[in-house]
Amino acid sequence: MQGIITSIVAIARPWLNAHRYSLSHENGNRSSKRTDELNRVFIDNVVRPIFPKDKGYVIETEHSIACAYGGKFKMDVVVYKGDKIVAMFPLKAIERSYNKNKFNFANTIVGEAYRIWGHPGVSDREKTLVAAVDWIPYKVPVGDKGKFETAVPANISSENLTKMSASFGYPNSKHISVKIRFDYNEVSDKITNLDTEAVIDFMKELVEWEKNFE
C-alpha cells in the first residue's frame, strides 16, 4: 500500500516534466526528447517501484514489438521478465487543444490495441497487461489567445479493449485505458485536484498484476 501512496503523489510528474520540456525548447512538444523525458519519469516514479530489477524485471523504452500488420512498431514502455512481456504502456501527455483531436486520440488507442493483439499466437504476450495512459488536464489551452477549454475525454471501454485481446487468442491478457485528470496552474507551475480515485485504481491494477504474474 505504501508503494501505491507514493505513486499517487508521483503520477503527475511525467506530465509535468514533459510540459516543462515543451515550454523550454522550441517546438519542444514535437521533440522525441520530450517523449524520452515522459518515459523516463514514468518509469522512475510508477513502473520501477512495482516491477523492480531485483525481481528479474527488465524495462525497455521505445521498444520494437511485433505488429499485427507485419513488421514491428515502437511501444513507449515495455516490461519483460525473461522473454515474456509482463506489461506495456502506450503513453500520451495532453497539453493543449484536446477536444478537437479527442477522437483521433481514441482511434490511436484502439488502433494500437489491434496492432498488439491482432496477430494471434505471439508467445511473448500470452499474459500481458497493456495500460494506455493518458494525462489530460481538466482545462487545456486552445488557440493562441490565452483561451482555455474543458477537456472532455472520449469514452474508451477497458472491457472492450480486453475483449479484443481475448478474441484474438490472448484470454489471459488484459488491456485498460487509464485517464489521469488534474488541474494545472501555469503561474505557479503546480498540479492540484488530482483524480486520486483513478490513480489508486490504476496502481492497484499494476500491483495485482505483478503479484500474480508467473
Nearest to 119 by CA among 194, 169, 173: 169
To the nearest whole number, what is the mean pLDDT of the chain? 92
Nearest to 132 by CA among 114, 118, 151: 114
User: Alpha-carbon distance 31 to 16, whole Å?
Assistant: 15
pLDDT over 70 for what percent of the chain?
95
Per-residue model confidence as pLDDT tens digits over 129-166: 999 999 999 999 997 778 999 999 999 999 999 999 99
End-to-end Cα spacing for the chain: 21
Per-residue model confidence as pLDDT tens digits over 28-63: 677 899 999 999 999 999 999 999 999 999 999 999
Burial of 189 (0-12, 13-18, 19+ CB in 10 A): exposed
Residue 69 predicted with pLDDT over 60 = yes
DSSP 68-79: TTSSEEEEEEEE
Residue 188 predicted with pLDDT over 90 = yes
Residue 83 predicted with pLDDT over 90 = yes
Domain ranges of the chain: 2-212
User: Would the pTM of this model clear 0.85, i.e. be above it?
Assistant: yes
User: Alpha-carbon distance 30 to 16, whole Å?
Assistant: 16
User: Alpha-carbon distance 124 to 87, whole Å?
Assistant: 11
The dihedral region occupied by 121, where left means phi > 0, alpha psi between -120 and 50, and beta the remainder, is: left
Range 107-113 average pLDDT: 96
